[in-house]
Amino acid sequence: MSANAASAGARFRQALNEESPLQVMGAINAYTAMMAERVGYKALYLAGAGVANASYGLPDLGVTNLTDVLTDLRRVTDATDLPVLVDVDTGFGGAFTIARLVRGLIKDGAAAMHMEDQVQLKRCGHRPGKEIVTKQEMLDRIKAAVDAKTDPDFFIVARTDALAIEGLQGAVDRASAYVEAGADMVFAEACTTLEEYKAFVEAIDSPHPVLANITEFSKTPNFTLDELRSVGVSAALYPLSANRAMNAAALKVYRHIREHGGAKELLDIMQTREELYDFLNYHDYEKKIDELFQKQNS
């Protein structure tokens, strides 16, 4: 097998071919990535909101930067061999910054990235008040990313937030142009109907035309895989599903212990020590320690 065939980008493309729609599961850190891999997911996602919220306690408003994203990416790719799709917001700058970003992502093990057509001072894709750059500026971003690839299989997803601003036809026209410029797939943000996804799929000339963002409490309904498959969607993204559940559980535990002075009533909702050890292969580490010390003492 060639080095290229084994690359993260190649593994992401293979996963898209093996599972349709490909479920891309959000993981905010190394341990959640390991759990997702054990459960059977074939691809992971590092959300910009996850980096901002969980790692830095910041809102998803373009406050974090290239270094912040790469730091969290390395933690995940060190812990799992699954291909990782990375949210890079608007690319963090101009053409040279985007090129540096792409090289850094590939070097640190990313399989794919998605970059959006919002202005630098971006907003969450499901919030009002979004602004987008001109189509030409986004095309320039995409061309800079494509030109910088050191792995030809690195997968570039172009996200468009134009649906809320330019309407369906305007967004579809942008998406088609983005693929012509070299993007491998389109992330159609904040679609509200299956028919909207179908319009993107039918307009885009790509083996894997559209990714659907199935994020909770948003403008997009919680469409099922069967529903997405029926209109030709190639990948379904679940960016922060586990993180939202983790946050709710943590808050429940904090409140309960503060009020009741202990957590014994909550043990049934906690992961046990042995479950944790199993995911971490803890006992294998202990066994290795014992072997090393036995050799030193013999």
Check the annotation: does 244 bind a ligand. Answer: yes
Is 4 assigned a catalytic role?
no
Is 208 assigned a catalytic role?
no
State the Cα torsion 190-195-198-204 to the nearest 10°. Answer: -60
Check the annotation: does 87 bind a ligand. Answer: yes
Catalytic member of 13, 75, 159, 208 = 159
Is 126 assigned a catalytic role?
no
Catalytic member of 189, 191, 196, 208 = 189
Question: CA-CA distance, 106 to 100, in Å (whole number)?
Answer: 10
Q: Rounded to a whole number, what is the largest CA-CA distance in the chain?
A: 75
Catalytic member of 87, 117, 153, 161 = 87
Catalytic member of 11, 13, 41, 60 = 60
Q: Which residues have C-beta within 8 Å of that of residue 293, sequence separation ≥ 6?
A: none
Catalytic member of 11, 13, 75, 114 = 114
Instruction: State the DSSP code for 11.
Output: H
Is 116 assigned a catalytic role?
yes
Check the annotation: does 159 bind a ligand. Answer: yes
Catalytic member of 13, 53, 72, 89 = 89
User: Exposed/middle/buried for 65, CB within 10 Å: 0-12, 13-18, 19+?
Assistant: middle
For residue 26, the surrounding DSSP H or E stretch is strand 22-26
Is 124 assigned a catalytic role?
yes
State the residue for tokens 């995911």. 279
Nearest alpha carbon to residue 21 among 226, 202, 221 = 226
Question: CA-CA distance, 206 to 183, in Å (whole number)?
Answer: 9
Catalytic member of 11, 13, 45, 208 = 45
Is 153 assigned a catalytic role?
no
Check the annotation: does 273 bind a ligand. Answer: yes
Compute the residue count for the chain: 298
Check the annotation: does 160 bind a ligand. Answer: no
Check the annotation: does 125 bind a ligand. Answer: yes
Check the annotation: does 215 bind a ligand. Answer: yes
Catalytic residues: 45, 60, 87, 89, 114, 116, 124, 159, 189, 213
Q: Annotated binding residues for Mg(2+), as ranges?
A: 87, 89
Task: Point out the annotated binding site for substrate.
Answer: 124-125, 159, 189, 213-215, 244, 273
Q: Can you say which residues are annotated as belonging to the binding site? A: 87, 89, 124-125, 159, 189, 213-215, 244, 273
